Structure 1
């Protein structure tokens, strides 16, 4: 089976993290022209290529009938990384950023807020002592009376999401940066003894017969589980009914997955979840480290209660260091680690800048999927319970260390899209599948509205 080209700088770092071959070489940014001083295109191609190469390896292990050699299509990768700009429901574009999400001036610089979720917006208003209907102008006036670091710290206790915008040199001296510098791009460890589980027979795709419980939100985690679904895995996403997901955001990354709601604090729902977990092969989480421990879902507890399980996790700041339990999103990480100010300086904008796409989310998602596939192959070969992990900040720091200060001109052309019907009859326009493993689909099979499926594995799973 032919392996996709995927051995640029970031793929080599990822491969070292897993002691795995990455595959052949790829032109660093062929076919993608994004305006950035950072090699975002190379990160995008490498991350998609790396998970594709791992899926080819899994297909080889299962004797999946090979198809023609797959190659990365840069335009499709670019479309996928910027998918929210192409997304339409019945021709209508979504509102991507809420009014209170953005850069605001502080007394001594800038802060970046993330308030796309209503509970985060409410927490931000409360922190700033504003009325429940206060808008961006009121937030602008309030943040101007704070120091950036004081507001960042106050937000932690208030449940709001606020980052002090830092220079790269400032971040380099932070204890969390130190903790991340000493961790691999992808974490992997065998966390307990377990017999090797068998693959199912008759696989047509590399992950046919693999069951994945998806406890992730926003972008990175859902990208990872969508990769697994694209390769044949049955993915069931489970969400807390009290924390609804933005409809468009789920649909943009929910293709080929089913989606249900369970409240793990309710005994009946917890029983359903436990029955699902008992026959799952993979559990993927996107909550802050230790957040699920109170439900008995820590990696150590899971290795003991469900030997042979592969656990994948994505977080903003990693599992070590003083910020390991902090909230974070792609935009928050960019602001914190110095990317936003570096882009401002290079592009000459009045406010801090941003990467041309939410590359930390997308790349981290693909890297996590690659790690899960690698762990599945290792589990089926040598046994054990496996933990793999990625952190947005660690991905961002890897990207940031490779910039040379030059700005790539934005001269990209039209990007591909695909359409499909939702389970309620609406028409969805979105980016096509970006993966390039042997037998990879060129279109999506289905997509369902958030939380509209039964919390059960499929009858033929």
Structure 2
């Protein structure tokens, strides 16, 4: 079974549709010890096929449009946050306190890009708010990695001890992650079919998600990648953020393409939020499991009030087990699951060539939403889909061959020139945030969109209302 077929099967897709997929393989892209290129291609291919399937469903076409997955476009998209330029300026990367640190017995990886995460990290370490990296390094050199992990976690911060693949696999959380499907899917309530209007088969471009309303309650990076993809496909995506949690400007510029952005305090403006829910087709959440339950946002609670909703959730570690309530990011999952050791060593940790867990999971999440919409069009039932970065990591490390050769026979493919200029997958546009250079979407199918309908709007500048 090819990697794309594995992802498509996890989505519940019809195996017969795999014949609609062709790949343009470019050896050398996303080079790593682990099969990152295969994973990235599979996630994007499954997403593009889900989009093409929904498009055929809504236009009444008997044949699903052909899908083409190009490794060059995929690699550029998986580096989108690095390739972004705003008025010619390169984006800010990881903050000074987001890095690996040597400890007395190994390494620990911290994440402190957001001001509140930096504050919690320094508070947990007993350091002043203006502590320099050298001060942190000196302190951690005398502490244990696991001790630091627990201390920072208890304070609401983000730190993970470096683990070997063997150490991770021996943990309770790893066993639970490995026992779950790549994509957890469930049927929620039933309601009269909420039919999306048919699409004109002759219209160009074909926008499979046109008319779909998506409430985007996500942050960094998998969730925003998913909703950015749904926006590309025509969905009305409204991202909501709390007023006290502003987004990083460059991150917003990268992931806000095609969306609208509004500020809403869910605790204060509950009536407004419920009105938005009543008009939504899809709710996507990317906060740690349980964090939004008090607002009635668990899949079960949503199904009681809005049985036709598609509820999509993404987390770092999975919504179960001893780590189920922990915060996490791609870099931390790489450190905990042994990926950083595989890409480097226990003496000097490495990293994947891109934040592939975030991007890959994001495209799978978008694919799961698209497939849920296709299924809902048949029976009217709401759907729940759930993914975790740690489960995607398990697929990368334990679920596919380490060699980067051709996929199994049966998937049409062609080796392409790996040295096509990266600019082939980039474009530029003027907008309210300035002149943007950004990566084009790798989700490609016959007749589909080539670019987003509009550039990102300023963070929090839109009304909390459907267009």
The answer to whether the aligner puts 1:30 opposite 2:11 as a matched pair is no
Q: CA deviation at 1:453?
A: 1.0
Structure 2 CA distance for partners of 1:155 and 1:235, relative to 1, 3 Å? same
Alpha-carbon shift at residue 63 of structure 1 (Å): 1.6
Distance 1:85 1:272, change over 3 A: same
5+ residue gaps, structure 1? 1-6
Q: Counterpart in 2 of 1:197?
A: 194
Report the alpha carbon displacement of residue 439 of structure 1 after superposing the two structures with TM.
2.3
Q: 1:143 aligns with which of 130, 140, 144?
A: 140
Would you say 1:304 and 2:313 are equivalent positions? no
Alignment correspondent of 1:8: 2
CA deviation after TM superposition for structure 1 residue 62, in Å: 1.0
Paired with 2:28 and 2:371, the residues of 1 have a C-alpha distance of 28
Rounded Cα–Cα distance in structure 2 between residues aligned with 1:386 and 1:342? 36
Aligned: 1:187 with 2:184: yes
- Residue 70 (structure 1) shift: 4.1
- Which residue of the partner structure matches residue 435 of structure 1? 443
In structure 2, relative to structure 1, the CA distance for the partners of 1:438 and 1:64 (3 Å cut) is: farther
Q: How does 1:378-397 map to 2 (within 5 A)?
A: 378-397=375-394
Question: Matches of 1:29 and 1:71 in 2, distance apart?
Answer: 11
Deviations 1:171-223 (A, max 9, x none): 00100001111100001001223232111133542111111000001110011
Q: In the alignment, is residue 218 of structure 1 matched against residue 212 of structure 2? A: no
User: Normalised by the size of structure 1, how large is the TM-score?
Assistant: 0.91
Change (3 A) 1:419 1:67: farther
**Are the aligned partners of 2:164 and 2:338 in contact in 1 as well (CA < 8 Å)?**
yes
Residue 423, structure 1, aligned to residue 432, structure 2: yes
Counterpart for residue 20 of structure 1: 13
Instruction: Give the conservation status (yes or no) of the 8 Å contact 1:38–1:403.
Output: no
Residue number in structure 2 paired with 1:160: 157
Distance 2:419 2:323 in 1: 37
Check whether the contact 1:61–1:377 (CA below 8 A) recurs between aligned residues.
Answer: yes
CA distance in 1, matches of 2:400, 2:64: 37
Task: Tell me how far 1:18 sits from its aligned partner.
Answer: 2.9
* Alignment of 1:173 onto 2:166: no
Q: Deviations over 1:240-293 (max 9, x none)?
A: 110000011011111111111101121xx2221111111100000001111111
CA contact 2:26–2:72 (8 Å) conserved in 1: no
Within-5 A mapping of 1:27-426: 29-63=25-59, 69-203=66-200, 204-266=206-268, 269-345=269-345, 351-402=348-399, 414-415=421-422, 416-424=425-433, 426=434
* Alpha-carbon offset, residue 325 of structure 1: 0.6
Residues 32 and 432 of structure 1: is their aligned pair in 2 closer, same or farther, counting only changes over 3 Å? farther
Question: How far has the Cα of 1:71 moved from its partner?
Answer: 1.6
The CA deviation string for residues 19-57 of structure 1, in whole angstroms up to 9 with x for no partner, is 313513656953552331111111111111101101111
- CA distance in structure 1 between the aligned counterparts of 2:393 and 2:172, rounded to whole angstroms: 16
TM-fit CA distance, 1:444: 2.5
Q: Against the structure 1 CA distance between its residues 15 and 87, is the aligned structure 2 distance closer, same or farther, given a 3 Å change threshold?
A: same
Report SS of the residue matched to 1:94. Answer: coil
RMSD over aligned Cα atoms: 2.1
- Give the whole-Å Cα distance in 1 for the aligned partners of 2:330 and 2:134: 24
Contact 1:36-1:407 within 8 A present in 2 as well: no
Change beyond 3 A, Cα 1:174–1:67? closer
Alignment partners' CA distance in 2, 1:212 and 1:280 = 6
Unaligned runs of 5+ in 2: 201-205, 406-417
Structure 1 residues 89 and 222: alpha-carbon distance in aligned structure 2, compared to 1, 3 A threshold: same
* Greater CA drift, 374-383 or 163-172: 374-383
> In the TM superposition, what whole-angstrom CA distance separates every residue of 1:289-326 from its partner, at most 9, and x where no partner exists?
11111111111110000110000010001112111110
Equivalent residues of 1:32, 1:75 under 8 A apart = no
SS state at 2:267 partner: coil
User: Is the contact made by 1:28 and 1:41 (CA closer than 8 Å) also made in structure 2?
Assistant: no
2:413 is matched with none
2:337 touches 2:390 (CA, 8 Å); kept in 1? yes
SS of 1:226's equivalent in the other structure is helix
DSSP 3-state at the match of 1:71: strand
Offset of 1:384 from its aligned partner? 1.6
Residues 231 and 452, structure 2, Cα contact 8 Å, conserved in 1: no
> Secondary structure, in 3 states, of the residue corresponding to 1:111?
strand
Deviates more, 1:216-225 or 1:399-408: 399-408
- Secondary structure at the aligned position of 2:188 is classed as strand
Q: Is the 8 A contact 2:56 2:64 kept in 1?
A: no
Structure 1 residue 404: Cα displacement: 6.2
